[in-house]
A and B are shown apart, each in its own frame.
Chain A
Amino acid sequence: MSKILVIGEIADGKLNAGVAKVVACAQQIGGEIVVALLGADVAGPAAEAAKLDGVSKVLKVERAENAHILAATYAPQIVELAAGYSHVLFPGTSFGKDTAPRVAAKLGVQQVSDVMVAHSATSFDRPTYAGNAIVTVEAPAAPAIVATVRLASFTAVGSSGSAAVESASTSTALPTHTRFVSMEAQKSERPDLQAAAKVVSGGRALGSSENFKVIYDFADKIGAAVGASRAAVDSGYVPNDMQVGQTGKIIAPELYFAIGISGAIQHLAGIKDARTIVAINKDAEAPIFEVADFGLVGDLFQVVPELQGKV
């Protein structure tokens, strides 16, 4: 039977909502599911993880050096914790993408990136070419399978469980070659882009950060998170953490608005799993209309304020 170690992630002192999706992937693989949480003090998030359905145990790995998440210090500890497990799963977040390959290399295995489906304990679907080709891969079972999970592909498990929480210690000497300097986190009262049911994204057409207010105001009216195309981020209209796409955030909201976004393949890679896509673009030939469920051809600076007034 598989024994699956899920590496949890903590953001702002809370369990990252993506962990419940990684557990869903672990359930699809089938087997015993243990969640490990690294940090300086992880009591709160550990209690949250213990409630996730299907989890049999939560390991708290508390060490002063774990106060800042660093792949260089986390990876050797995860390698130590991984002994005896058949799978080590990470969320497909910037943390997981940074850390998992370091663990895989130490274990001497290729990593399975962005698992979309687990057909069995060793067979997985994953996206390549910006999601334009899905490959089914068979991974060697031994010594272990290391994977990141594409969060947009899974529905979070419920939280009616009550797993045991245990402390685990790691004895690995940690490197000092990597030091945390600072974090410039974007504070926002808006819903989280990766968890929101509704997302409104703006593109190059917005033209300036001032004009992006049109997007924020509409998003706030309908309670949506705000995203952006690469062009909007590159042009400095919005911060980098708002980029949606192949190399940004992959999202799966119920409702997605692409406003003044042309629909390049790299952008579409991030929204393929949205339930309903609405496109607003003044160019009737824009490729975004080929994937939109509802398209409206028009100038966003007229259409969006009107829309805001009518919803």
Chain B
Amino acid sequence: MKALVSVKRVVDYNVRVQVKSDGTGVVTEGVKHSMNPFDEIAMEEAVRLKEKGKISEIVAITIGGAKNEETLRSALAFGADRAIHIKEEGEVQPLTAARAFAAALKKEGADVFLAGKQAIDDDANQTGQMVAALLDIAQATFASKVELEAGKAKVTREVDAGLETLEVDLPAVITTDLRLNEPRYLKLPDIMKAKKKPIEVVSFADLGVEKAATLSTTKTSAPPKRSKGIVVKSVDELVSALKGKGLL
């Protein structure tokens, strides 16, 4: 069984992003970037499934500029066998990304497409579902448990009401939630080994992908700032403050 895993390069989750003063976007230059945390979880899951003998080959895929090679090298250090770099500078919105992933999934003949449930930069939460729709295949989003069997997957999902379990036929799209696993720390020997693994560089045109119409961003603004409140000295003071505001 073959798994295709998407890995996006995003501003690191620890960075407090700053909106540019002219409202044209956020400051990304000189800011730490990492693999999207949900994609690390997807990579980790693929590797664990390979370790269990359920998957025989892991292919990592990314869309982005030259710097995305770092993200692919991390994926290879996790344990991907090889990688595909769809080279494209600038923002790529979910439907366009999904078209490219769908094309790659078909070309590779992969059985599962593993993606993060959401990229923490655009917070869109769309791409995996769109890949499934474009190929008319099953999807199991927000996964917290994945069991692969011949031709099928049983996936437990984190939904608003609790935990839902679905059975899906393969090929299928699975998107990861936080509780699926805890990604490993990458070890130096694996990072060294990753340097020798192959990365294939392709373009949208190579994959026969046409870009979809985009949402255009007309303005980026900082959210309204919450003003800093007061520190009370005692429980009594807190209770009277809340009662004074009619909250208790």
**B184: interface (CB < 8 Å):** no
| Residue of B11, B160, B221, B245 with most partner-chain A CB within 10 A | B160
| Contact, CB under 8 Å: A296 / B17 | no
| Contact, CB under 8 Å: A241 / B94 | no
| Contact, CB under 8 Å: B142 / A94 | yes
Q: Would you give the shortest CB distance from B37 to chain A, in whole angstroms? A: 9
Residue in A closest to B137 when the chains form the complex, CB atoms: A177
| Contact, CB under 8 Å: B16 / A111 | no
Q: Known A113-B123, A181-B166; judge A132-B239 contact (CB<8 A).
A: no
Q: Known A138-B215, A294-B242; judge A110-B221 contact (CB<8 A).
A: no
Q: Known A240-B162, A306-B235; judge A109-B223 contact (CB<8 A).
A: no
**A128: interface (CB < 8 Å):** yes
Alpha-carbon distance A3/B122, docked complex (angstroms): 28
Residues of chain A with a CB closer than 8 A to B166's CB: 70, 178-181
| Contact, CB under 8 Å: B231 / A289 | yes
Q: Which of B54-62, B77-85, B126-134, B196-204 contacts A (4 or more CB under 8 A)?
A: B126-134
Q: Would you give the shortest CB distance from A188 to chain B, in whole angstroms? A: 10
| Contact, CB under 8 Å: B123 / A183 | no
Interface residue from B121, B130, B136, B230 paired with A104 (Cβ < 8 Å):
B130
Residue in B closest to A266 when the chains form the complex, CB atoms: B13
| Contact, CB under 8 Å: B126 / A183 | no
| Contact, CB under 8 Å: A104 / B215 | no
Q: Would you give the shortest CB distance from B234 to chain A, in whole angstroms? A: 8
| Contact, CB under 8 Å: A108 / B95 | yes
Residue in A closest to B159 when the chains form the complex, CB atoms: A94
| Contact, CB under 8 Å: A293 / B229 | yes
Q: Known A97-B125, A177-B169, A296-B235; judge A102-B160 contact (CB<8 A).
A: no
Alpha-carbon distance A89/B158, docked complex (angstroms): 22
Q: In terms of DSSP, what is the predominant structure of the interface of chain B?
A: mixed
| Contact, CB under 8 Å: A185 / B162 | yes
Residue in A closest to B219 when the chains form the complex, CB atoms: A136
| Contact, CB under 8 Å: B238 / A294 | yes
**A93: interface (CB < 8 Å):** yes
Q: Which interface class (under 10, 10 to 19, 20 to 34, 35 or more) fits B?
A: 35 or more
| Contact, CB under 8 Å: A295 / B162 | no
Residues of chain B with a CB closer than 8 A to A83's CB: none
| Contact, CB under 8 Å: A241 / B215 | no
| Contact, CB under 8 Å: B238 / A296 | yes
Q: Known A97-B125, A175-B136; judge A310-B168 contact (CB<8 A).
A: no
Interface residue from B117, B118, B139, B158 paired with A71 (Cβ < 8 Å):
B139
Interface residue from B26, B132, B242 paired with A133 (Cβ < 8 Å):
B26
Interface residue from A136, A194, A293 paired with B218 (Cβ < 8 Å):
A136
Residues 234 to 292 of chain A near chain B (Cβ within 8 Å): 234, 239-241, 246-247, 249, 254-255, 265-266, 272, 276-278, 284, 289-292
Interface residue from B118, B129, B159, B239 paired with A105 (Cβ < 8 Å):
B129
Interface residue from B142, B164, B230 paired with A295 (Cβ < 8 Å):
B230
| Contact, CB under 8 Å: B218 / A138 | yes
| Contact, CB under 8 Å: A105 / B98 | yes
Q: Would you give the shortest CB distance from A91 to chain B, in whole angstroms? A: 10
Residues of chain B with a CB closer than 8 A to A67's CB: none
Q: List 22 A-B contacts (CB under 8 A).
A: A72-B139, A93-B160, A94-B157, A101-B94, A105-B95, A110-B95, A129-B11, A132-B222, A132-B223, A138-B216, A138-B217, A177-B172, A178-B167, A181-B154, A184-B164, A198-B247, A272-B223, A284-B231, A294-B230, A295-B231, A303-B235, A307-B238
10 cross-chain pairs, A with B, having the tightest CB-CB distances, nearest first: A101-B129, A293-B229, A105-B133, A105-B130, A101-B126, A102-B133, A181-B165, A177-B169, A94-B159, A177-B138
Residues of B within 8 A of A (CB): 11, 13, 16-17, 19, 25-26, 93-95, 98, 117-118, 120-130, 132-134, 136-142, 144, 154, 157-169, 172, 177-179, 212-223, 226, 228-232, 234-236, 238-239, 241-242, 245, 247-248
